[in-house]
A and B are shown apart, each in its own frame.
Chain A
Amino acid sequence: MAAVREGTLTRAIATSVVRLLIGYSFSVVFGVLLGVALARSQKVKSTVGPLILGLSSVPSICWLPLAILWFGLSEWAIQTVIVLGALLPIAVATDGAVRQVPPQLVRAARTMGASGPRLLFSVVIPAAFPGILSGAKLGWTFALRSLMAGELLFVSGGLGQLLETGRDIGDTALVLAIIVTIVALGRASEWLLFGRLDREVGRRWGTADA
């Protein structure tokens, strides 16, 4: 309870959430773009495709030593780990989702005069949205895991570090409290964002009873 009273827990949550949001937003934007490039360009697919599939099987924590070597014990190191953990699964899911867009929709849009980026943003990405959304959800859990792993390892001021502190001082209550907080963070994302998007997809596509 001391952690709550002194505001340590609140500060740790704030620090972690801000980190998570920055790294995750970056991962979503670039993960989706990378995924679309993979699906739409044979050149991209055959050059970096196998590499991306391979890299996405590396547990994100394995990137931390490299990140620390490159960026030192800094914010950049943690962000690198988050992005490497979240971006690749999002890209792989987006690739799959874009490939499954009914070709008829794209052809229809082309006969109406859509081409290039316009076609991409007004038809291809919206049509792939349900698949991209499941990739984004996956990305969120990956981002959260990477963040905790990254924070555990050095003085970062986030939840992960507080968890480590709890272990050091033998404070089981603190450790459990942080685990509960992490669960709550996962649920919050569902409640604030993904749940709503899911319902919207269900309403529009008619895939679930809204």
Chain B
Amino acid sequence: MSIFAKAAHSIALGDEDAFSGPSRRRSRPGTSTSLQRVSFSFATEKGARLAIESADLHIEAGEFVCLVGPSGSGKSTILNLIAGLLAPTSGQVLENGKPIDGPGPARAMVFQDAALFPWLTLRDNVEYPLKLAGMSKGERRARGDELLRMVHLYRFADSFPHQLSGGMRQRGAIARALATDPAVLLMDEPFAALDAQTRELLQAEVERIFLETRKTVVFVTHNVREAVRLADRIVLMGTRPGRILRDVTIDLPRPRPLNDERVAWFAADVANEIRTEVDKIAKEEADDAWVAPGDRVRRDPRRNLGGGI
């Protein structure tokens, strides 16, 4: 039996008040997480590629941190390192001062495509981590119902994932991630595939859950406004190799409406910083066809718009 299974077991048996009883809001508080001089490289056909170079990051317990940056800046890699799904090539990833040496239910993850199990109903999906933790059927049912109510999906408990909309699937995935009452919630671009309206709804939902549970949240996104709306702190990441550029504290009262001018102001500031990084990649990927933003007109002489008629 792995130490994770044991940990899960002790969560289920030893720490009963975390799950059962009517006063369920007494959830496990968040833990602090830190990366110390973490580098991560992976093998490609052309040899090793450095995904993250010497990153230092400390996340306080109960803090909401957004990792923002262009593709290839190692945002998701950092999340996977904290989850324990990847091990750093050098450096250390710590949770409450102790090294993380593998995945476990104390650090739950929400993926971009929800990753609900298609063969299970929504209820069974949410109960799956509880089953792993060795919880009895009755308790599982009660906890599952509670979670589904929390994300307003109780009516759809017996639906299969394919019968739900993208937003509903994502809410289901959040419920599943919260099932074992994790200390850290890792969200990997959870709303990137959703339409704008649904995304706003879910942002409000995540903010509410965060304020209720006070878990540590690490949230990866491309969307600067989303980050400014949700985060206590934004960590800006750059590319080639992936590294941390800047750390911005968003000191605004919650809840934050998206149309608040201070949100817009912060977002514009952060977006400006990212643009240089985005440009850098766009130039590499698109070669000379890339036109810098600001100059919106394509000036390609081969694009002859009927001049020779």
Spell out A's residues near B (CB within 8 Å).
Answer: 102, 104-105, 107-116, 118, 122-123, 126-127, 129, 203-206
> A105, A114, A205 — which one has the most chain B CB atoms within 10 A of its CB?
A114
| Given A115-B2, A115-B5, A108:B160 Cβ within 8 A | no
Residue B118 is within 8 A (CB to CB) of chain A in the complex: yes
Bound together, the chains give a CA A116 to CA B1 distance in angstroms of 9
Bound together, the chains give a CA A203 to CA B186 distance in angstroms of 31
State how many angstroms separate the Cβ of A73 from the closest Cβ of chain B.
Answer: 45
Bound together, the chains give a CA A116 to CA B132 distance in angstroms of 12
Mark each residue of chain B from 36 to 76: 1 if its CB lies under 8 Å from any CB of chain A, else 0: 00000000000000000000000000000000000000000
A203 contacts B160, C-beta separation under 8 Å: yes
A127 contacts B119, C-beta separation under 8 Å: yes
Contacting residues, chain A, for B132 (C-beta < 8 A): 112-114, 118, 122
Bound together, the chains give a CA A123 to CA B128 distance in angstroms of 10
Of B105, B162, B186, which is within 8 A of A112 by CB?
B105
Contacting residues, chain B, for A205 (C-beta < 8 A): 118-119, 160, 162
A104 contacts B113, C-beta separation under 8 Å: yes
State how many angstroms separate the Cβ of A108 from the closest Cβ of chain B.
Answer: 4
| Given A112-B128, A113-B132, A118-B132, A107:B109 Cβ within 8 A | yes
Bound together, the chains give a CA A111 to CA B86 distance in angstroms of 11
Residue B245 is within 8 A (CB to CB) of chain A in the complex: no
Bound together, the chains give a CA A129 to CA B108 distance in angstroms of 26
Of A111, A203, A204, A206, which is within 8 A of B103 by CB?
A111
A113 contacts B111, C-beta separation under 8 Å: no
Bound together, the chains give a CA A104 to CA B132 distance in angstroms of 18
User: B residues 96-115 with Cβ under 8 Å of A?
Assistant: 103-105, 107-109, 111, 113, 115
Of B2, B108, B117, B118, which is within 8 A of A111 by CB?
B108
A113 contacts B180, C-beta separation under 8 Å: yes
A113 contacts B104, C-beta separation under 8 Å: yes
State how many angstroms separate the Cβ of B125 from the closest Cβ of chain A.
Answer: 10
Contacting residues, chain B, for A115 (C-beta < 8 A): 2, 4-5
State how many angstroms separate the Cβ of A129 from the closest Cβ of chain B.
Answer: 7
| Given A112-B132, A204-B160, A107:B117 Cβ within 8 A | no
Bound together, the chains give a CA A119 to CA B186 distance in angstroms of 21
A111 contacts B160, C-beta separation under 8 Å: no
Residue of A whose beta carbon sits closest to that of B121: A204
User: B residues 152-211 with Cβ under 8 Å of A?
Assistant: 160, 162-163, 176, 180, 186
Residue B133 is within 8 A (CB to CB) of chain A in the complex: yes
Contacting residues, chain B, for A114 (C-beta < 8 A): 132
Q: A111-B109, A112-B108, A112-B176 are in contact. List 6 more A-B contacts (CB 8 A).
A: A108-B115, A110-B85, A111-B108, A112-B128, A118-B5, A206-B163
Bound together, the chains give a CA A165 to CA B159 distance in angstroms of 55
State how many angstroms separate the Cβ of A51 from the closest Cβ of chain B.
Answer: 28
Bound together, the chains give a CA A129 to CA B107 distance in angstroms of 29
Bound together, the chains give a CA A114 to CA B132 distance in angstroms of 7
Bound together, the chains give a CA A110 to CA B129 distance in angstroms of 10
A111 contacts B8, C-beta separation under 8 Å: no
Bound together, the chains give a CA A86 to CA B176 distance in angstroms of 39
A-B contact pairs, 8 of them (CB 8 A): A105-B115, A108-B109, A111-B103, A112-B132, A113-B7, A116-B2, A127-B119, A204-B119
State how many angstroms separate the Cβ of B178 from the closest Cβ of chain A.
Answer: 11
Of B5, B115, B119, which is within 8 A of A102 by CB?
B115
A112 contacts B119, C-beta separation under 8 Å: no
